[in-house]
A = this chain, B = another copy of it.
Amino acid sequence: MFLLNTWYVAASSTEVQDKPLGRKICGERIVFFRSAEGKISALEDFCPHRGAPLSLGFQRGDHIVCGYHGLAVDCKGHAAHMTGQNTNQFPSVKSFPAVDRYGFVWVWPGEASKADESLIPVMHWYDNPEWAYGGGLYHINCNYLLMIDNLMDLTHETYVHSTSIGQSEIEEAPVKTTFDSHTVRTSRHMENVKAPPFWQNALVAQGLPADGLVDRWQVCKFSLPTHVMIDVGVAVAGKGGYEAEQKDKASSTVIDFITPEDEHSMWYFWGMARQFKADDKDLTEQIRKGQGGIFSEDLQMLEQQQRNLVHWPERRLMKLNIDAGGVHSRRIIEREIALEKETRTAKA
Residue of B nearest to A90 (CB): B318
How far in angstroms is the closest Cβ of chain B from A96?
Answer: 16
Select which of B168, B300, B304, B322 is within 8 A of A69 by beta carbon: B322
Knowing A46-B312, A52-B301, A53-B308, the reply to whether A70 touches B171 (Cβ < 8 A) is yes
Contact, CB under 8 Å: A52 / B171: no
Interface positions of A from 29 to 65, Cβ below 8 Å from B: 29, 45-46, 48-53, 56-57, 65
How far in angstroms is the closest Cβ of chain B from A146?
Answer: 8
CB-CB contacts of A298-318 with B at 8 A, as 1s and 0s? 001100110111011001011
**A172 located at the interface, meaning its Cβ lies under 8 Å from any Cβ of chain B in the complex:** yes
How far in angstroms is the closest Cβ of chain B from A257?
Answer: 22
How far in angstroms is the closest Cβ of chain B from A306?
Answer: 9
Knowing A56-B301, A83-B172, A171-B83, the reply to whether A68 touches B159 (Cβ < 8 A) is yes
How far in angstroms is the closest Cβ of chain B from A94?
Answer: 11
CB-CB contacts of A2-21 with B at 8 A, as 1s and 0s? 00000000000000000000
Select which of B29, B46, B84, B90 is within 8 A of A172 by beta carbon: B84
State the number of copies, please.
Answer: 3
Contact, CB under 8 Å: B84 / A50: no
Contact, CB under 8 Å: A149 / B50: yes
Contact, CB under 8 Å: B318 / A49: yes
Number of interface residues of A (CB under 8 A): 49
CB-CB contacts of A239-257 with B at 8 A, as 1s and 0s? 0000000000000000000
Knowing A29-B311, A308-B51, A317-B51, the reply to whether A301 touches B67 (Cβ < 8 A) is yes
Query: How far apart are the CA atoms of A301 and B317 in the complex, in Å?
Result: 43
Residues of B with C-beta under 8 A to A317:
49-51
Residue of B nearest to A71 (CB): B318
Residues of B with C-beta under 8 A to A301:
52, 56, 67-68
**A153 located at the interface, meaning its Cβ lies under 8 Å from any Cβ of chain B in the complex:** yes
Residue of B nearest to A318 (CB): B49
Knowing A83-B172, A309-B51, the reply to whether A56 touches B156 (Cβ < 8 A) is no
Select which of B70, B85, B312 is within 8 A of A159 by beta carbon: B70
Select which of B45, B66, B300, B320 is within 8 A of A56 by beta carbon: B300
Residues of B with C-beta under 8 A to A49:
317-318, 320
Residues of B with C-beta under 8 A to A312:
46, 51
**A103 located at the interface, meaning its Cβ lies under 8 Å from any Cβ of chain B in the complex:** no
Contact, CB under 8 Å: B159 / A66: yes
List 9 tightest A-B contacts by C-beta distance, closest first.
A83-B171, A52-B305, A53-B304, A51-B308, A69-B155, A49-B318, A51-B309, A50-B317, A67-B159
Chain A interface residues toward B at CB < 8 A: 29, 45-46, 48-53, 56-57, 65-70, 83-85, 90-91, 149, 153, 155-156, 158-160, 168, 171-172, 174, 300-301, 304-305, 307-309, 311-312, 315, 317-318, 320-323
